[in-house]
Structure formats: C-alpha cells, structure tokens
Amino acid sequence: MNLFSLFRRPSSAPVARDRLQILLAQDRTGQGFSDLLRVLREDILAVVRRHMDIDFDRVNVQVGHGEKLSMLEIAVEIPDGFQAPRRASRRKRTPVPARRRG
Amino acid sequence: MAKVVVVTSGKGGVGKTTTTAAMGAALANLGQKVVVIDFDVGLRNLDLMMGAERRVVYDLINVIQGVAKLPQALIRDKRIDTLALLPASQTRDKDALTEEGVRRVITALRQMFDWVICDSPAGIERGATLAMRFADTAIIVTNPEVSSVRDSDRIIGLLDAKTLKAERGERVDKHLLITRYDQPRAARGEMLTIDDVLEILSTPLLGIIPESEEVLRASNLGSPITLNNPNSGAARAYFDAARRLMGEDIAMTVPVEKVGLFGKLFGRRAA
C-alpha cells in the first residue's frame, strides 16, 4: 500500500468479472434445465394420463435452487371427485399416489 | 460466393447499427460489393446512420409482400457505388416479416453482392431470430459491461441453436467485436478487460473499437465513421476488423485517438 492507494477507490472490474462468471454458469445450466423440465413434464403427463384423465396444464415440474441442494418438484393436480379404479384382488380402495402443490 | 453476416448483440444500444454502417462502408471501400439490411421493423435507424433517410421509397417488407421489386427498394450509396442499403419498414406490422420472405430476399441478394450484412434488432424476438436465421457469419457486438456480456452469451446460445446452419449440424462462424472500450479505465481496474470478456464468452475476437467522440459526430452527420473520419481510432479499428473478416491476418491492437497539441490543451474528456 502506498500513499496514492489511500485516495484510490478499490477497482470494480474484478467484481464484475466474478459476478458474470457465477451468473452465466447459472444461466447456462438454467437453459439446460428448462429443456429437461419440458421433456420430464411431457413424459410424466403421458404416464399419468394412462390412468386418469388430466389436463395438459395440470402437471407442474420445477427445480428449486437452494443454498446446499436443489430440489426437483413434481406436482400433479387431479380432478375433484376422482376415484381410483378397484383392483380385482383387493376390496379396499387404493389411495392415489399424487400430492397437491403447496 | 457471397457471405451473409448478422450483426447482433441481444442488448440494445451497444453499437449494432453503428457497426453495420461502419463495417459495410469499410468493406465497400476495400473494393467489395456490400448490401446492408435493416431488420429492425418499426424502429428503423440504419437509413439514418447511412444518411439515406430521405431516399427511402420502398423497404424490406414491401419486397417481401411483392409491392416492390428488390432493385427498386435498394438504395445505392452516393459516396461508394459498391455499397447499398435495404431499409426496414417503419410500420408496426412485424408479422409481415416472414421466414420464407426473408429467405427469398437473402437468396437474391447473395447473387448480387459479396457481403450481405444484416443489422439485427435488439432482443431475442422474431426480428432478431430472423436476422440471424440465414447467416454464415455472426458479429456479436459487446460492451465491456456486465449486462451486455450476459446478453451476448444468450445470443451465442441462439446462434448455436436457432440458425439454419445450426439445424443442419453446421456452425455459424462467430466473432466478437468489443465496442466502447476504454483502455485507460480497463488498466485502472474500472472496466472489464478484453481478456475478461474473451474468457467469459470464449468466442474469437474480431476487433476492439475504442470509445470515441467521433462515433457520435459521424452519426450526427449521417455518415459511417469509416467514411466520415477514416483516420479516427474507431474507424481504423473498424477497417482492421473488416480486413480480418476478409481473412487477412492483422495484429490485434486498440487504435488510439490521435490528439494534437490543441486538443491536449483545450480538448474535453469524453463523459
């Protein structure tokens, strides 16, 4: 440190570079993810529709980025009053393995 | 064989139109036959930069819709006879810009010129994607500033995915042009350096255009900077970039503005 550095503001370019590097890493994986999510959504929809009649916009797939881990969240809304078909071997009605958002 | 070049950036205000005009005029000055096309439908400005705003009769949309023939819409430059402009429409009907129409116009222009330079609008919407659609080569105009670099990264992704070449499994030849570069500020750590930008975007460099008061002066006068003041630092940098685009091997430097004694004594600093 010399006398002049007392009067000089700290340089901002290295901050810009670091912010960009982190941001673009996120942007780039984000775009990859959005493609993955679209494919996942279509696949999940196809499977669920084999068993029940649901709308195309009733499947919500998203990735939440946390500090330590990211979470893949899949939410499928099922129509009101939907009843699972009875199975021949069991008398009891099987619960539908789907959860609502929220 | 003609080359189709798109001048693009994502972000607005970084110098796409200035670059299109300057590079077009530089290439024409080097003996090439050049047409510059404005793709910014509704907000055309390339005609202003070329000083041809009062000579616009027909435009790109008129040609696409069959209202005018291509030679009727082309405006030949009064200063260099190998340079021509195809202006954009000033109407708001952006849907008139169709992929098939653009393909027809560019195919015809390829037969008439050595270089077809497409000035892309800002953003990543229809106008921007159509401007890059048929490109062989892309010039990505970037300022050494965070939002511009981020948007350039996005555009590079689009060039690798949404162009005809990309869909055929080929590659658009991508070049980075860094504009408004202020060497002293970069040296003081106040601005991203060329190396920073190149490392982040990992795209080959076509040229470095220094920040220059001459750019605004040329725009005021409606004359591409490479014609208006060919000795200015920015114009020399554009000429170097044009030669590199033609395949010449030219050392990468940042041409500086020559300031005379008078300028040193009385000159004002650029804001």
The closest of B15, B53, B37 to B85, measured between CA atoms, is B37
Q: What's the gap in Å between the CA of A15 and the closest CA on chain B?
A: 9
How far does chain B reach from its first CA to its final CA, in angstroms? Answer: 43
Q: Please write the tens of the pLDDT for every residue from A11-50.
A: 899 999 999 988 888 777 766 566 677 777 788 888 888 8
What mean pLDDT is reported for chain A? Answer: 73
* Band of pLDDT at residue B205, cut at 50, 70 and 90: very high
Taking CA–CA distances from A24, the nearest residue in chain B reads: B150
Q: What angle do CA B200, B247, B156 make, to 5 degrees?
A: 30
Question: Which of B150, B155, B182, B203 has the highest number of chain A CBs within 10 A, making it the mutation to test binding with A?
Answer: B150
- Residue B255, by phi and psi: left (phi above 0), alpha (psi -120 to 50) or beta? beta
Cβ pairs A/B, distance under 8 A:
38
DSSP designation for B160: T
* Band of pLDDT at residue A102, cut at 50, 70 and 90: very low
For B220, the enclosing helix (H) or strand (E) is helix B213-221
Residue A11 touches chain B, beta carbons under 8 Å: yes
DSSP assignment of B8-24, as one string? E-SSSSSSHHHHHHHHH
In the prediction, which pLDDT does A94 show?
Answer: 54
Taking CA–CA distances from B158, the nearest residue in chain A reads: A31
Q: What's the gap in Å between the CA of A42 and the closest CA on chain B?
A: 21
Distance CA B150, CA A20 (A): 7
The closest of B215, B195, B213, B214 to B205, measured between CA atoms, is B195
pLDDT at A1 over 80: no
* Band of pLDDT at residue B231, cut at 50, 70 and 90: very high
CA-to-CA separations, B240 to B23, B226, B269, in angstroms, rounded: 10, 11, 25
- Looking at the partner chain, which of B149, B157, B190 has a beta carbon nearest the beta carbon of A12? B190
**pLDDT average, residue stretch B13-32:** 97
Residue A21 touches chain B, beta carbons under 8 Å: yes
Question: Which of B147, B151, B181, B192 has the highest number of chain A CBs within 10 A, making it the mutation to test binding with A?
Answer: B192
DSSP designation for A72: E
Q: Please write the tens of the pLDDT for every residue from B206-227.
A: 999 999 999 999 999 999 999 9
Q: What is this model's ipTM?
A: 0.80
